[in-house]
Structure 1
Amino acid sequence: METLASRLVPEAVKNLIPYQSARRIGGQGHIWLNANELEQGCDYGEGSGAYHRYPDFLPHQLAERYLAYSLNGREVQDLEALAVRGADEAIDLLVRTFCQPGRDKVLVCPPTYAMYEFCAESFMVEAVKVPLLDNFQLNVPQICAQLPQAKLLFLCSPNNPTGNVIRQEDIHAILEASQSSTLVVVDEAYIEFAPDTTVVDLIAQYPNLVVIRTLSKAFGLAAVRCGFLLADPGVMTYVARLVAPYPIADPVAQISLSALSETGVARMRTQTASLIAVRDWFIDQVQQLPMVETVYPSATNFVLIRFRGPECIYSHLLDRGIVTRNQAHDPALNHCVRISVGSKNSMLETLNALKEYN
């Protein structure tokens, strides 16, 4: 049965035979001499002697646990999960799977996460831009007009660096318009801060929808580099062909499985609730400062602030040892600084530094 994914994927990928690693081929036995591993590990400390065997070629247990977490008891048919080395690899895999260099295009909606454009252009795939509206929502008519020309559309909700959630009705409209032309990729890296806005459940209705997730944000595992793709099997069958052998290291898988346990998820939700409380307190305080023009609503673990005047607040904070993110490189975000939400003490110190400038 022909699917949109099978029509979009280049013939080279369609005919590609995945690399047949020792773990993918498998086998049963009591002496393992098939992968050129050491039969006994070398002990370099901290349990390193147990790492002489290659990990699972695709960590199925980790993918299944994340799928169960993402559905939270709901049932969604025709949905698969794939563990990858952070959300950035998920973006790269989608571009390399469905786009041909010098020929295909993707759509991006700036200001948004810069890796969509970077991954496309590094693969010599044109990134067509349809900027967000002044309220940081999607320009749906312009996006729909460009859909027939693009293999992929990347959306981020909640969006980085603006912090807002994309309107659900706009995503529905784009999914309807793109069913025969384009894969719609929704990056939900910050979804734990706005869980009711997830679009994962829509994959059953729209097999051209792909969702990207990560453990880097709310789970606090940025150094572990573990992300996930959630997609229809028709999409996943091609993406999985390009995954490198043994993509997830065993220590990463074990830490991630622990984070996704019942205890780990409960700890994450408690920590997220505390962070949101600090975020909302900081927003309330900072928007009272005279040099603040706008504090944009946030459904994330950061706050985007537009300051008055030509001076760079970023530099003022940096002089006081507070490192934030200057967004002035984007014309739509002139005089804007993105501030991640830390502890109450860190945000109080940041607030006092801003008051000093004032």
Structure 2
Amino acid sequence: MSTVSALLRSDLRDFGGYRSARSDKLDGDVWLNANESPWANSGTPEADLRRYPSPQPQQLRDALARLYGAMPEQLLVGRGSDEAIDLLLRAFCMPGQDRIVIAPPVFGMYAVCARLHGTAVIEVPLIDSAAGLNADLDAMVDAVIAHDARLLFLCSPGNPSGEALSPAAIERVTERLRGRAIVVVDEAYAEFSEQPSVVPLLDAHDNLAVLRTLSKAHALAAARIGCVIGSSEMIEALRRCQAPYPIPQPCVDVACAAVSVSALAATSERVRELCAERAWVAQALAELPGVRRVYASQGNFLLVRFDDAEAVFKRLLQAGVVVRDMRSQPQLGDALRITIGSPQQNRRMLDALASAKVEAA
């Protein structure tokens, strides 16, 4: 029995989900099967959005599969990575009974989705050392086994840690948990990382799921386009748990354009520029008085500890620069997360910090 079959909620094994008017491929030129309007909206006649979109738009699915090195049947498109996280909880965790394992401080939606779903969250904190803020993978696997957890979430590169896990390390985790748990690798920031994606491991590991998004490197955060990549069996199980029409057609059109050959070439160039800026900003921050530590990062951000994070946060706001306050997160009572912006934006942020130190002196 596959890991997916073994872990899928027993009450969902015969669940077919909702079959929409677009679920079946039917040919015709007079569409009277979905109770749609026969006319476009008078306020936006040029858009003509009266028809429901495809549940899984094939053009976008094919394009994302090519981009990430997967087969279309291994990929489910959804409303950002957030929907994929929610679908994994729905499919594999029985409310009030099952558990997941995470490594805080980490992306908050793993725990939020779990708690909204009635699933317990087992925490194995990141280890803060000279090497960085790193996941204890052995301890995480031990926690999965000890608590009989269904899902293990790994964020690589980590948010906010910036740590990137090697495919070899992730494969060892996946092998240890074969038949026991689904290993979910969130690669939202993979484009900025030196580590390769773990998508090539999918064919040999049916308990692996990979999350990708167009929100970060591809600059489509407002379009809400993400996907989960896994075995075809897993994807079919998740599809049955998904809402009928997850992706609005205008977002599909924008996403298809964003992964065209010319757009991908421009995105790659911008990623290279951003990574160069990341190295420069990290060095400049480390040289400022009042900065305790700048963590190495393979994301498009830096996690920074300050002597007085409150004063720094307020000073940046006064200068019109908004960063992420991380002080409510475990182990991060003195930390802010700073996204790498354009060269001009980065210089403005650094100038605001430098001027604050001059004023304080």
Which runs of structure 1 show a deviation greater than 3 angstroms over 4 or more consecutive aligned residues? 76-79, 309-312
Residue 123 of structure 2, aligned match among 122, 129, 134: 129
The answer for the alignment partner of 1:58 in structure 2 is: 56
Q: Name the SS for the 2:85 alignment partner.
A: helix
The CA deviation at 1:34 is 0.5
Residue 85 of structure 1, aligned match among 79, 85, 104: 79
Q: Retained in 2: the 8 A contact 1:65–1:260?
A: yes
The CA deviation at 1:77 is 7.1
The answer for the alignment partner of 1:118 in structure 2 is: 112
* Cα distance in structure 2, aligned partners of 1:246 and 1:63: 14
Residue 65 of structure 2, aligned match among 55, 67, 76: 67
* Cα distance in structure 2, aligned partners of 1:136 and 1:37: 52
Gaps of 5+ in 2: none
The CA deviation at 1:354 is 0.8
Give the AA of the match of 1:13: L
The answer for the alignment partner of 2:30 in structure 1 is: 31
Q: Retained in 2: the 8 A contact 1:79–1:204?
A: no
* Cα distance in structure 1, aligned partners of 2:155 and 2:141: 17
* Cα distance in structure 1, aligned partners of 2:126 and 2:181: 19
* TM value normalised by structure 1: 0.94
* Cα distance in structure 1, aligned partners of 2:45 and 2:257: 18
* Cα distance in structure 1, aligned partners of 2:119 and 2:156: 23
Give the AA of the match of 1:348: R
The CA deviation at 1:70 is 0.8
The answer for the alignment partner of 1:178 in structure 2 is: 177
The answer for the alignment partner of 1:138 in structure 2 is: 135
The answer for the alignment partner of 2:92 in structure 1 is: 98
* Cα distance in structure 2, aligned partners of 1:332 and 1:128: 17
Give the AA of the match of 1:188: E
When residues 276 and 201 of structure 1 are mapped into structure 2, their CA distance, relative to the original with a 3 A threshold, is same
Q: Retained in 2: the 8 A contact 1:10–1:100?
A: yes
Gaps of 5+ in 1: none
User: 1:234-257 CA deviation, whole Å, 9 max, x = no partner?
Assistant: 211210101111111110000000
* Cα distance in structure 2, aligned partners of 1:281 and 1:15: 54
Give the AA of the match of 2:271: T
Give the AA of the match of 1:294: R
User: 1:21-48 CA deviation, whole Å, 9 max, x = no partner?
Assistant: 1110332223211010112212323723
User: 1:260-311 CA deviation, whole Å, 9 max, x = no partner?
Assistant: 1111111111111111222221112111112111111111111111112575
The CA deviation at 1:133 is 1.4
* Cα distance in structure 2, aligned partners of 1:81 and 1:63: 7
RMSD, matched Cα: 1.6
The answer for the alignment partner of 1:251 in structure 2 is: 250
The answer for the alignment partner of 1:229 in structure 2 is: 228
* TM value normalised by structure 2: 0.93
Q: Retained in 1: the 8 A contact 2:167–2:197?
A: no
Are 1:271 and 2:270 counterparts? Answer: yes
